[in-house]
Amino acid sequence: GAVVSQHPSWVICKSGTSVKIECRSLDFQATTMFWYRQFPKQSLMLMATSNEGSKATYEQGVEKDKFLINHASLTLSTLTVTSAHPEDSSFYICSATTGGAGNQPQHFGDGTRLSIL
Amino acid sequence: AQTVTQSQPEMSVQEAETVTLSCTYDTSENNYYLFWYKQPPSRQMILVIRQEAYKQQNATENRFSVNFQKAAKSFSLKISDSQLGDTAMYFCAFMYHSGGSNYKLTFGKGTLLTVNP
């Protein structure tokens, strides 16, 4: 149980392109989803918290116009990197939780490797 | 601000032996949750074990156990009978209530564990 699917797993695109990454909870309803960014050999940095039906809450330093997050249903959240540039190249990971009490762990997707040429 | 410190960037252990990974954290919160996640080369984050701060009893999951010392703000992970499949990056994580219905995870920088045959 508690499977989170992330798609695509790897995307390569030209600078200036917008890229959409999907995060789906397959067997549970995710009231809250999180988006992280991970640079090589580094830890995960939280970008934003997304509650279903609400606007995402972005961490300090994360450009909300650059990284558009939509959480339209209890099983799907999307991250769109707009006008991507080489510095946006990174590993992006989503996680999902049923929310509520803090002892509900976050379940992670497999991640998306984004390479901007 | 919550911080998580993993002082061992890399560790190695022989197969079938026991290894302990260190983690300390700093917080002014009283209610929080602690987790260990592993990230194998496939990059998927896998929950290893979790501990509620209000519980004195140390959590165990098969070969994995923790030594939770709340006063010292220490949360180490012991892996018994190490297996080759345990080779991965291990992240210690701290979860706290960040407001409303949201809880945030803060990760340490990770410890790369290599199990040698």
pLDDT tens column, A23-48: 999 988 888 899 999 988 889 999 99
Task: Label residues A69-107 b or e (16+ Cβ within 10 Å = b).
Answer: bebeebbbbbbebeebeeebebbbbbbbbbbeebebbbb
Residues facing residue B64 across a β-bridge? B61, B79
Does A60 reach chain B within 8 Å, measured CB to CB?
no
pLDDT at A103 over 70: no
CB contact under 8 A, B104 and A51: no
State the pLDDT at residue B2: 82
Q: Which residues of chain B are within 8 Å of residue A99 when distances are taken between CB atoms?
A: 101-102
State the pLDDT at residue B96: 84
Mean pLDDT of B4-16: 96
Between A2 and B39, residue with greater pLDDT: B39
DSSP, collapsed to helix, strand or coil, labels residue A10 as strand
Burial of A1 (0-12, 13-18, 19+ CB in 10 A): exposed
State the pLDDT at residue A100: 59
Confidence band for B15, pLDDT divided at 50, 70 and 90 = very high
State the pLDDT at residue B67: 97
Distance CA B46, CA A26 (A): 16
CB contact under 8 A, A102 and B105: no
Mean pLDDT of B59-64: 96
State the pLDDT at residue A54: 82
Q: Which residues of chain A are within 8 Å of residue B43 when distances are taken between CB atoms?
A: 91, 93, 110-111, 113
Nearest to B83 by CA among B68, B64, B67: B64
Mean pLDDT of B19-45: 92
Q: Which two tokens stand for residue A3?
A: 């499977």
Distance CA B59, CA A7 (A): 33
CB contact under 8 A, B105 and A108: no
Domains contained in chain B, CATH given: 3-116 (2.60.40.10)
Q: Quote the percentage of chain A above a pLDDT of 90.
A: 69
State the pLDDT at residue A99: 63
